[in-house]
Amino acid sequence: MSPVLLPGSVDQQGRPAAVGVMGGGQLGRMFVHAAQTLGFEVVVLDPDANSPAGAAAQTQIQTAYLDAGGLAELARRCVAITTEFENVPAEALKTLAQQRPVAPSGEAVAVCQDRAAEKAHFAGCGVPCAPYAVIAMAEQLAAVDEALLPGILKTARLGYDGKGQVRVRSRAELEQAWAELKQAPCVLEQMLPLEREISVIVARSAAGEIVHFPVQQNLHRDGILALTQVPAPDVSAALQQEAVACARRIAESLNYVGVLCVEFFVLRDGRLVANEMAPRPHNSGHYSIDACDLSQFDCQLRAMTGLPLVQPRLHSPCAMVNLLGDLWFDDQGRQRTPAWDQLLALPGVHLHLYGKTEARAGRKMGHLTLTAATAEQALATANRAAALLGLPGF
């Protein structure tokens, strides 16, 4: 087991100890803030010179994720390393782990990066998921059971926020969709009657300590998370306990170290099925910065440095709203600045902007967390905020 890295530690040159993060997006940026709060310096590795995390960190190594020189420099500068992006090559994490503690491990990330491996892992843990078939060659396409249709064809790798997914109702549509996806390895999932979507975030240490955040109830629009509510208003206590137990079992069976999010579908008949998992903090957990006594990024830092993991507590009911790049344009497509001053006049509003230099439709530019004395008040404020921003209500 790696030694505990205490806040305020210094390296052999007497400088503040640095932790590393692979990936420079908004998740990395929020991790940087959490690490700096405890006195750690942060080194980010990302190929983008204008990465949000790189702008907040002490140092950015601007190289490709598999660049040998960049990985060597990250290992030299840091005492422990994590990732903020599930599509960072698992091989890069395995290379870094030869020299430094890396959490999560490349082996765990590799499972999360491949939908077929992920679903096999769910099954191995006894966690139910949607019926599915792996399609990597024409013979597998021809052998697909008609019972899986209608379904959703998903690329096995590199899909996120609804990308790399096609709904198919017939065998002809399935064949066309696979061709459109360039015959990449895919998973066909049976379309199930969904009631709602929820997620569970757990954090686990190398010593096997494991804690979890409250169950999050999520609303997606166009494949992108639009709203998260905590506590989950429409999920029974028994189902919440089942979701937490499943997420813990998945993390333990991976021998996982770090923060892991498991997304679930709640079906109309009340059953729970696992959808997918992310080997990092998750969009649905951003509320934890403002509504919990420990955020998911605090737990990410604690897990990778061996510091104690304490069960996070929700101190304020809340709603979290994603802010996409569409908000930066009016109905005629002209660029504008959203009415932040009016928004910040609302009670319990916490605005987080990610420092991205270019707004684009569908691009995550920031989020709002609305905290209140009750969940009903938080949702009401979220709807007032949506009206000010020109978003549909919740």
Cis preceding linkage at 104, omega within 30: yes
CB 88 within 8 A of CB 23: yes
315 is in an annotated binding site: no
356 is in an annotated binding site: no
DSSP states of 192-252: --EEEEEEEEEEE-TT--EEEPPPEEEEEETTEEEEEEES-TTS-HHHHHHHHHHHHHHHH
* CA–CA gap between residue 95 and residue 103 (Å, rounded): 13
In the block, tokens 């955020």 appear at: 295
115 is in an annotated binding site: yes
CB 282 within 8 A of CB 218: no
Per DSSP, the chain holds a count of helices (H) and strands (E) of 13, 17
CB 281 within 8 A of CB 300: yes
Phi, psi of 156 (to 5 degrees): -65, -25
- Interacting residues of 333 by C-beta distance below 8 A, sequence separation 6+: none
Tell me the sheet residues that pair with 19: 42, 80
159 is in an annotated binding site: yes
242 is in an annotated binding site: no
38 is in an annotated binding site: no
86 is in an annotated binding site: no
304 is in an annotated binding site: no
363 is in an annotated binding site: no
287 is in an annotated binding site: no
* CA–CA gap between residue 124 and residue 185 (Å, rounded): 21
CB 121 within 8 A of CB 127: no
367 is in an annotated binding site: no
Show the DSSP H helices in 260-368 as ranges: 288-291, 296-305, 340-343
CB 320 within 8 A of CB 381: no
119 is in an annotated binding site: no
163 is in an annotated binding site: yes
190 is in an annotated binding site: yes
Q: E strands, the chain, where?
A: 18-22, 41-45, 59-61, 80-83, 132-135, 151-155, 165-168, 186-190, 194-204, 210-212, 216-221, 224-230, 258-267, 272-278, 318-324, 349-353, 364-371
189 is in an annotated binding site: yes
Residues tagged in the binding site annotation: 115, 154, 159-165, 189-192, 197, 220, 275-276
Residues tagged in the binding site annotation for ATP: 115, 154, 159-165, 189-192, 197, 220, 275-276
